Structure 1
Amino acid sequence: MGKGYYISRHLATAAMVLAAIALLTIIALSVVYNREKSKNAAKFTNATTSPVPPTQKTSNEPWDKYRLPDTLSPEYYNVTLWPRLVKNANGMYIFTGISGVMFTCVKKTDLILIHSNKLNLTLFKGHHAKLTGQSGVTAPAIKTTWFQMETQYLVIQLEGKLKPGKSYWLYTEFTGELADDLEGFYRSEYMEDGEKKIIAITQMQATYARKAFPCFDEPGMKAVFHITLIHDLETTALSLTNYFVFVLNERPNLCVTIFGPTKKMSTYLIAFVVSDFKYISAKDKKGVLVRIWARKKAIEDGQGNYALKITQPILEFFEKYYNTSYPLSKSDQIALPDFNSGAMENWGLVAYRETALLYDPQTSANGNKQRVVTVVSHELAHMWFGNLVTLKWWNDLWLNEGFASYVEYLGADYAEPTWDMKDQTILYDLQRAFAVDSLTSSHPLSRKEEEVNTPSEISEMFNTISYSKGAAVLKMLSEFLTEPVFAKGLSNYLKQFAFGSSVYTDLWDHLQKAVDQTPGVKLPYSVHEIMNRWILQMGFPVITIDTRTGNVSQKHFLLEPEAVVDRKSEFNYEWFVPIKWMKKQQVQDQLWLLQKSGTLNLVNKNEWVLANLHVSGYFRVNYDLGNWERLLSQLESGHQVIPVVNRAQILDDAFNLARASIINITLALRTTKYLLHERKYIPWEAALRNLNYFFQLFDRSEVYGAMQAYLKKQVKPLFEYFGNISSNWTAVPSGHTDQFTQIIALSLACSTGVEGCRELTRNWFKKWMQNPHNNVIHPNLRSTVYCNAIAAGGAEEWNFGWQMFQKATVAAEAVKLRSALACTKVPWLLNRYLEYTMNPEKIRKQDATSTIGYIASNIIGQSLAWDFVRANWDYFFKMYGTGSFSFSRLISDITYRFCTPFELSQLKRFQKDNAETGFGSGTRALQQAIEKTTAKIKWLAENKEPVHQWFLSESA
């Protein structure tokens, strides 16, 4: 059992009292537990002995609405839970609990609505709860109670009215299933030293706290939480605050862990874990305890050391950046074997997938290390922005996630200052957001509250727009305000709304005050007027510069230029656009484009012009043909003159302008010719992403051969360059991003048939197969090597990879193998692998949808994956459709290659055939798949032949 650390004298005294209560709790819970043993497993639904009133879907009753009424306000909760980590008589894992919530009546009412989902509540005199008044107040009697299944409420009707300003106590006892569904309070299983281990863990975001205990489960309904966990003596219980542990004489195999009261916080940030994990720890300069928790072997092997090393400087950075002290006394971070999200910012107990927190220097790649620092930085940024100050409702999710996605690069840059982390935002946020926001099925960053109601609609908000567009737009805002002004306004905002909730306009108010208080900072309009155009309407502009006249204009950019946008905009799809630009090598004053058109001051029209300098703005740029030619000439004669992120911008803008039929496709293809001389990661990655789009368009047509020949010629110098500086691939470059470029060189060289590449990867893999205990392949290159070797081999190579996957003790290594197994060209192996995704003993539930996505990325596996998902749609929708953040990605992955009329008809048939089942959080992804396929069909009809001819001419 992990040792608890002692708490203050006053809290210890309170803990003694709570311990006595806990003893009584154990007795009560035991009664519930024994009662549960005699129940049938089917009882684990919201079935009750009280009938559900026969209301219609069109009912205007409060219990048929997804939003809580504004009549009650929770103040604090007392929650005691007892998870059983062994099966009961019915073969189930369960937890039992009691919960009390004190709330204040805001408006007179005879109705209490509190969220509860998949909990069996004990009956008290025929009702599911007990109600008492506080401070001498008499509570009205309960008239009737029932569960409203659709809206997930426990409904309590009273015989009298609750009085405004008075406080009441609502008490419930309940039993729930400790399922393996990755939601609420659930279980995770893993093998260690040949023994199956069971742990109890939580994931409350966005609407799952109600699966752990009855609660007012909305982000704006903040309260203080007192949490107590009863658990086996050999396990450790963790939650958000410091704890005190009592061993029970009455039950020597059990102990009670009592946690100190939390700060005032939202239900979705609650967390608790019961496990036998180990930890490493350190204290920062201010005495904040930092601990990294994980499986025993992972900690013993040093996989938590890097996370511990970077957590302290990142916390230090954010304290300075926000000008606000870290609000808690500890920062626990825990790596979990089964976790649906990448990570979750629980306030004081941050949960991660193992791949996002653990790093093994012996087997993890450089990219795994970068993922750890960026994810840790993202989650720690939330400790202030999101946790200390929380959004009022999920329609403004972008404010939480967009902000954390932006500043994660600032925190990571502080922890790893030589990695050029800030430049990578162009790849991982801006260009990723562009791809989705250029569709008519996109949506504004901030949506109307009434558009986001159901759990599925809330889950759907956790998407690229909220994260990546949010980050790109906030980065642009910080750039034109200047970072000091942005940080000043942010600090004041956090101070005013600390421990409360807000809406995005509150942030605009404080940023505007910071502008007003800073001499020399001038804006053409207020922060509200500028930014509302970026967040209240979807999309972004393409800025066109005509260097012959100096004219600058803007237009809503859509990949399908003739598409009709159904969503109206009060701003008519026009933006106030801050344009940083340069002539030749001279940086010019920023231009604000405030209307559809404006003018640049161009004296020498024979010099190239580059707009969106350092890619600080959220827009694409087009030029007249003459300026495009001058930029292409500069790239080929001396590309270093153009900033590295702008080289990536030129590539990405050109290809997407061509996809939208704004410029000729051959002009876009010409931007890749200079890559013969490029050695930097960001331009190559931008090029590869756009070329991968071409791969999936043409790898089933005659264009593919000529394209392969051209790319082989372009990548060969890069392959040879890294062969030379790495002593024939026996070492890795010292530069952080150079290591990423080396991976691109190997991957693209092997896929295009550069001499010596495939032989290299096959020989490495063969050596490993001959000696499985000595993997000579460098961790950076393993993903590429594994994939190429398994693709070139058969069942022997696949089975070896599967064995190594099953034996992997480092999560990052397991991911590399799981992805590589999808590279095989043998159909029956792919079909067998697809079947594995429905067996959690083989592929964990958290990994099922991404594994199908890997298979779908294989030209052989795409149709197999599509057929498989359609055939098992009811299963996948039931497992992932209503809440999983990865579900929309599944739909995108299996339809990524679609580009023919037949495939479009299949998509529409799929939509029609499953309309009754629904698509849950993948609804928008399906709409986007139809829109993308339609656009690709039209584009191919117009551009396939010129593309083919260009590749033929350039590959000769």
Structure 2
Amino acid sequence: MPLLVDVEAWPRSRTAAPRQRRALSRCVRLALAGVATLGLALVGSRARGALREGARADMPPMLGHSTKGTGVDSRPLKPTSGGKHRELPRNPSFGPPIERPGFRPTQRPEVERQPAPASDVERLPNASSACTWHSYRLPTDVLPAAYNLVIEMPSLTPPAYVYGSVDVSIDRNASAPAPRCLVFHVAPEVQVDALALVLVSSGASADPPASGAGRLVDARIARYDAEWSQMHVELDEPIEESAILSVSFSYELRDKLTGLYHSRYTGIEGTGHSIATTQHEATSARETFPCWDEPGLKATFALVLHVPDTNGTVALSNMPAVSTRTLVVPPGRHGSADETDADDVPLARAQASGRWRRRLRAAARRSSAGGGAAAADDAVGDAQEEDKDKDADDDGDEAEAGWGIDGLDESLRAGRLISPEDVQREALPLKRVEFGTSPRMATCWRHERARCPGLRAAIARLPHGWRGRCHTAGVAAAARLAYLVAFTVGEFEAIRTQSHSGVQLSAWAPAATRQVARLQYALQIARDALNLYEKLLGVPFPLPKIDIVSIPDFGPGAMENWGLVTYRATSVLADESSAPGDRQSVACTVVHELGHQWTGNLVTMRWWDELWLNEGFANFFEQAVTNVIAPELMIAKQHVQYLSTALHFDSSPDTHAVRPVRSVASDSAIEALFDSISYDKAGAIIYMLHDYLSRRTPGAFVAGLCSYLTEHQFGSASGADMWEHLGKASGLPIGEWVEPWFSQAGYPLIEVTTLSDGSAVLLQVGRFMQDLTRTQIAFGGHATADQATRMQSWWVPISYFTSVSSEVHVSEIASSSSFFSIPPARKQRGGFDAEGSDWLKVNFKGAGYYRVNYPPHLWARLVQASTEPGRISDADLANLIDDAFALTLDGRLSGVILSLARALGIRTAHESTFVTSSYESWQAMSSGLTLLLSLVADATQASSSREGLIAGPGLDLIPSRCVGDLQRFVRTQALGRCLDPLLSESPPTGRAPPRGSTDAPHAAHASGTTHSRTQLEALAKPVLLQLASAMGDSRVGVWASGPLRPCLDTPDARCGAIEAIPPELRFACLDICAAFDVSGQCWQLVLGQLPYADNDPAYRWALLSALSRAPTERLLNATLGLVMNPAVVRAQDMGAMVSMLAGNSFARGARQIVWEYARANAYALLGAAGGAGSFDFGGLLSTVASGFASEEMAQDVETFLALNPVINEGVPARITRAVVGKIRSQAIWVQNYGADTCAVLASFHA
């Protein structure tokens, strides 16, 4: 039920949520009928008497006046000394905000408010010891059960403001003492204007309490902890059973990327449009409304939005809208014109109206009289007294014609949102949109085993081993989490479809952009994925609809809000004319987010330290499900890329376990968990486990997953719960096997050793760490006390095949103390002759999460076998290349990677279909060679030169010609003839768009035809072209500039020639032209095309990528000058743009120049992006600074962070250590092993 704050003592209160308001509107009829009345204690006799004294009763309590007995905390916000904080314009019907001691507005206006240290938290003078909680986690003495949330946005165009109220039904945890202090989350920028609490009996939280069940208690803010965004509310009485907390709040709708924020875009007609949208993961729900913002605290949510009632404005949320009603505010009034709507409108003015006051007084009298017969006897008298009050109240209503509150203090009008003149000039139309509450389902459980519904129909297309059985069950209620609550308001257009089970799917694009048609592909993928998920997992999607929404400004790639999935435009817009990579990215992202509807929304991790339960399974589904519903994308043949991303990130000694050992106890620590470990590593381990189980116990994986989801649906779970279900389904000790993978950082290295009898031994030699600053535990290496005492051990599933037999053999290494032996071929099938010419490849297609090292003679045989596509698959070769690069940078190998590069070139030249079967190999090779070039080039440029030699103190000398040798080697020995067929394809010519067309380039996309025969071929072409560009192959520069030459003289005019290039080559052509043209003509052309790309986010991103290729220092600095220009780079893209400039620019010393820019403009970047919550400076460090290879730069990074605590606080110490450690490790590699690599390169050209 709602808690309605006393309007007689507090005009700023808000109305209750829909069902409770309807209950209140019936209270008079219930009383007259002698039925039990609403037991809602509101005010004491002092406040009621004050109302009858005159107009001043509607004013908020004056400073220093006691509010004890009213149940309302009304302390005003203390003035701050800084003077730079702009106070929120006040709704004149609202009183001053509540004081939150300990809050200090920031002294840096360009960044968000800085949290006060824990020791600086103040306490109110009358605060007792009841509120002594001091922990990042909230106490568990009460649990939220239901939220009734009302949000009002009178305008979406800045300056715009948000006014809201929330009623939270909370239940006491029976295992904890009855609390006298509530602790919940509210962000510093949210102004709390009023709060109150009513105690109710157990079980009354979902419905209005019976007579006498509700009792208002004194609730005071004891303190506010800004560091953890926690508000502590002290109560006069403990919560014995249940209670309802009511909070009114307000804040500015800002241009940021978290909480409820403003997004803007320009339509095709050239006018600006505004959208208000939310992004709450991980800890930003508190920026939108006060809440218990933790993943383990599920509740039901009912939402009402009041939004501008303009043509085309759409309001979306997790649930469908159940009612929409126009609320016209006539001239001279700020509130609802229709008094019958007063119960539904969350405006303080409506609460102060005559009808509202009469209802509240009646409820107060009945509460004062108690329950039962006494309340019934008083009912008739109450009704008569209401009639006596009516005339006086109507007089008050006449006075309200000006501003709605009698005798409003003039001082409160100074910061008003809407002036009286504005109100007189025009009406303020709003519409009220009420959304459905989380659905409820039957509470019966069916324990019998049943096949997953519809699974038979999908089995034919499922990967090997994806079949199983599961439990089915009903549920009590579909509870949701605060971080999954979402809503979006703006002008949108939609297309729709329906799943096999009747779920309505809609895809929404901003109006006036002509983007909605390009949502068809994403909508199709979403429908097919939803159908497969329901068949596969055996648990139907519990909501009636799913909305897919493209947001112009959006921080992450997408957000899995239950029933309302929000996306960056680039992550959801694609059609048949889009680049193949764009279509694949959209498909994978949509499948990933749909997977979260089960693993993440239906069943949620209990705390953020098990985020991998959400993201790891979604990453796994991203591969497995996409491969089923979109086989043309050939995702199954691209797994090594997922594996490689995780292995490289996890090679650092400062990586973290999938399930962190240390407590996750800060916002920055939570945000830091959204990394490759939680996504890619967890997904790779799940992939490895699935691959192993599919060979040993087919069907067990799906069966265990089904039963896990069924048992824990609408609740929270842990990894142990998942392993328990998989163990029962397979009959294997899954929990024992996988526990080290999730509790330990890093991964193992498997060493292959051959013996004199022709056999081979596979031995787990400890954790692989790519860090030369520490002594490594390596086979035959040095084990110091620092590392030997921390020997780690894993259960490792082993798969291998040999040159003798292509059959895949599966076994396991149980621990570091065990090994696996492969006998000679003459003794056992599946063996091989180590003393002859035989070879073996361990880790079939990269299914296992580990690296493998071979003795030199086996590496040589594998290199030779790699030249023949029929002997080693593309996935296995990519896995070999990735391992070889890592082992080279670790100092274990020298020259092997260059031999593999030559072998790949020979292999590709021999293929009958251009690079069709070698995409993953070229992707791995390109990444490695580009990194190697960057290390050598940066080391050369950063060191002092002496007659062509780069000297390290007391170390080997690295010849400066090494960069040229490496580039020449790749051009001649690796790429060789591979580029000839591609460059022989003359650049296409096509028709330009119609004269005067303002459409994005997709108007002419059909004119560019795709020449590739498969997805892998289409993906491989730009990889080879970009690699050739990085290696200075002038042929690709000529090839790329050819089709663009007609546009170079008129760079600001729309270039139809760009649109005529086939989609698979278009963006590579732009990149390469900009990289090779030192005159800047291509750069100017790319810049001039940006105005024509406003409504094509993928094209706009390609143009930004091309700008980042700036070939000279002049162009690089010019591009850096555009980073914080919102007309060129959106806030969401600023960090990525800086990172691209560091890694892509061909200018000499580009990384150093970009780092100096980022260092000098750190605070400006934070402010331009919308604050620290919208800009990941840790990510910037990881991409920009981690590319250096000198001790000087390592110290520079440390010094910068030490001198800038505001930046440092937002970067977890683990990331700082990892970045600095990587710089030092790369410096040691350049000094110790760079000369050897350069010598090998020189030998190829001798």
Q: 1:623 pairs with 845, 854, 857, which one?
A: 854
Q: CA 1:105–1:410 in 2, change beyond 3 Å: closer, same or farther?
A: same
1:20 & 1:180 partners in 2: Cα distance? 39
Please name the residue that 2:288 is paired with. 212
Q: CA deviation at 1:695?
A: 1.6
What amino acid does structure 2 have at the position aligned with 1:147?
Y
In the TM superposition, what whole-angstrom CA distance separates every residue of 1:910-933 from its partner, at most 9, and x where no partner exists? 233234652414543322121111
Matches within 5 A, 1:267-666: 267-299=482-514, 302-362=517-577, 364-427=578-641, 429-448=642-661, 451-482=663-694, 484-516=699-731, 523=732, 526-548=733-755, 549-554=759-764, 555-560=766-771, 563=774, 572-584=791-803, 585-596=805-816, 597-603=818-824, 604-605=833-834, 606=836, 607-636=838-867, 638-663=868-893, 665-666=894-895
The whole-number CA distance in structure 2 between the counterparts of 1:19 and 1:620 is 66
Q: Pairwise mapping of residues 88-99 of structure 1 onto structure 2 (< 5 A)?
A: 92-99=159-166
Q: CA deviation at 1:953?
A: 2.6
Q: What residue in structure 2 maps to residue 696 of structure 1?
A: 934
SS of the aligned residue for 2:1196 comes to helix
Deviations 1:326-378 (A, max 9, x none): 1211110000000000000000000000000011444x311110110000000
Report deviation, 1:951. Answer: 1.8
Pair 1:79–1:628, CA change in 2 (3 A): same
In the alignment, structure 1 residue 845 sits paired with structure 2 residue 915:
no
State the Cα distance separating 1:144 from its structure 2 match: 3.9
Alpha-carbon separation, structure 2, partners of 1:281 and 1:489: 34
What is the deviation of 1:202? Answer: 0.2
Match of 1:717 among 963, 973, 977: 977
The one of 883, 903, 921 equivalent to 1:683 is 921
- 2:112 match: none
Q: Which residue of 2 aligns with 1:26?
A: none
| Aligned equivalent of 2:36 | none
Worse-matched range after superposition: 282-291 or 750-759: 750-759
Deviation per CA, 1:281-325: give whole Å up to 9, x if none.
Answer: 011222111111012244566211111121111111111221211
- CA displacement at 1:900 relative to structure 2: 2.0
- Distance in 1, Cα, partners of 2:814 & 2:1075: 53
Comparing both structures, which one devotes a greater share of its residues to helix?
1
- The equivalent position to 1:765 in structure 2, one of 1039, 1044, 1051, is 1044
Cα distance change of structure 1 residues 799 and 902 upon mapping to structure 2, 3 Å threshold: same
Shift of 1:722: 2.9
Aligned to 1:8: none
Contact 1:64 1:150 in 2 (8 A): no
Corresponding residue number in structure 1 for 2:340: none
Q: What's the CA shift for 1:780?
A: 1.9
CA distance in 2, matches of 1:477, 1:122: 49
The counterpart of 1:836, out of the listed 1114, 1122, 1131, is 1122
User: Which amino acid in the other structure matches residue 540 of structure 2?
Assistant: S
Which residue in 1 is equivalent to 2:234?
A: 157
Counterpart in the other structure of 1:735: 1014
Aligned residue identity for 1:804 = Q
- Partners of 1:455 and 1:883 within 8 A in 2: no
C-alpha deviations, 1:369-415, integer Å up to 9, x for none?
Answer: 01100000000000000000001111111121111111111121122
Displacement of 1:906 in angstroms is 1.8
Paired letter, 1:255 = K
Match of 1:873 among 1140, 1162, 1165: 1162
Asked whether 1:856 is paired with 2:926, we answer: no
Q: Distance in 2 between matches of 1:325 and 1:62?
A: 44
**Is 2:1086–2:1107's contact at 8 Å kept on the other side of the alignment?**
yes
Cα distance in 2, alignment partners of residues 567 and 179 from structure 1? 50
Give 5+ residue unaligned stretches, structure 1: 1-11, 22-29, 517-522
Equivalent position of 1:177 in the other structure: 252
> Residues 884 and 537 (structure 1 numbering): CA distance in 2 closer, same or farther, change over 3 Å?
farther
One-letter amino acid matched to 2:1243: S
Residue equivalent to 1:783: 1067
**Residue pair 1:887, 1:922 contacting (<8 A) in 2 also:** no
What is the one-letter code of the residue matched to 1:530?
A: W
Q: Give the match for residue 27 of structure 1.
A: none
Q: Which has the higher contact order (CA 8 A, sep 6+)?
A: 2
- Post-superposition offset of 1:139: 4.7
Residue pair 2:198, 2:214 contacting (<8 A) in 1 also = no
Deviation at 1:942, TM superposition (A): 2.0
CA distance in 2, matches of 1:141, 1:162: 12
| CA deviation vs aligned residue, 1:208-231 (integer Å, no higher than 9, x gap) | 111111100001110000001111
Q: Would the alpha carbon gap of residues 727 and 155 (structure 1) be closer, same or farther in structure 2, given more than 3 Å must change?
A: closer
> Would you say the 8 A contact 1:356–1:372 is kept in 2?
yes
In structure 2, relative to structure 1, the CA distance for the partners of 1:79 and 1:728 (3 Å cut) is closer
Q: Deviations over 1:454-493 (max 9, x none)?
A: 1111101101111110111111111112262111101100
Structure 1 residues 706 and 795, CA, compared in 2 at 3 Å: closer, same or farther?
A: closer
Specify the code of the residue in structure 1 equivalent to 2:290. P
Structure 1 pair 628–144 and aligned structure 2 pair: CA distance change class (3 A)? closer
Residue from 313, 318, 323 that aligns with 1:240: 318
Say which is worse superposed, 709-718 or 526-535, in terms of deviation: 709-718
| More displaced 10-residue stretch of structure 1: 296-305 or 577-586 | 296-305
Offset of 1:941 from its aligned partner?
Answer: 1.4
* TM-score, normalised via structure 1 length: 0.90
What residue is the counterpart of 1:197 in the other structure? 273
Letter of the structure 2 residue corresponding to residue 744 of structure 1: V
Asked if the contact 1:183/1:202 (under 8 Å) is kept, the reply is: yes
Report the 3-state secondary structure (helix = DSSP H, G, I; strand = E; otherwise coil) of the residue aligned with 1:587: coil
Give the 5 Å matches for 1:740-759: 740-754=1019-1033, 756-759=1035-1038
1:543-594 CA-partner distances (Å, limit 9, x unpaired) = 0111325222112111125626999999831111110111213325312111
Per the alignment, residue 805 of structure 1 pairs with 1090
Measured against aligned partners, the alpha-carbon deviations of 1:492-518 in whole angstroms (never above 9, x if no partner) come to 0001110000111110111111012xx
CA contact (8 A) 2:495 2:516 kept: no
Highest Rg: 1 or 2? Answer: 2
| Whole-Å separation in 2 of the counterparts to 1:913 and 1:902 | 17
Which SS does the other structure have where 1:823 is aligned?
coil
Counterpart selection for 1:253 from 424, 429, 454: 429
CA distance in 1, matches of 2:188, 2:117: 20
Kept in 2: contact 1:343–1:350 (CA 8 A): yes
- Spell out, residue by residue over 1:887-920, the C-alpha distance to the aligned partner (whole angstroms, 9 max, x if none): 3321122214301232223223223323465241
CA displacement, residues 166-210 of structure 1 (integer Å, 9 cap, x when unaligned): 221111111111111111000101111111111100000011111
State TM-score, norm by structure 2: 0.70
Name the stretch that deviates more: 580-589 or 802-811.
580-589
TM-superposed deviation, 1:753: 4.3
> Shift of the alpha carbon at 1:121?
4.2
CA deviation after TM superposition for structure 1 residue 650, in Å = 0.8
Cα distance change on mapping 1:827 and 1:85 into 2, 3 Å: farther
Measure, in 2, the Cα distance between the counterparts of 1:826 and 1:622.
41
Percent identical: 27
Distance change (3 Å), C-alpha of 1:122 and 1:462: closer
Does the Cα contact within 8 Å between 1:15 and 1:258 map onto a contact in 2?
no
Please give the alpha-carbon distance, in whole angstroms, between the structure 2 residues aligned to 1:76 and 1:422.
43
Are 2:1198 and 2:1220, in contact at CA under 8 Å, matched by a contact in 1? yes
Q: CA deviation at 1:31?
A: 12
**Structure 1 residue 43 corresponds to structure 2 residue 257:** no
Q: CA deviation at 1:671?
A: 1.2
Deviations 1:212-254 (A, max 9, x none): 1110000111000000111112211000111121123537722
Moved more, 172-181 or 200-209: 172-181
Deviates more, 1:149-158 or 1:532-541: 149-158
* Distance in 2 of aligned mates of 1:267 and 1:618: 34
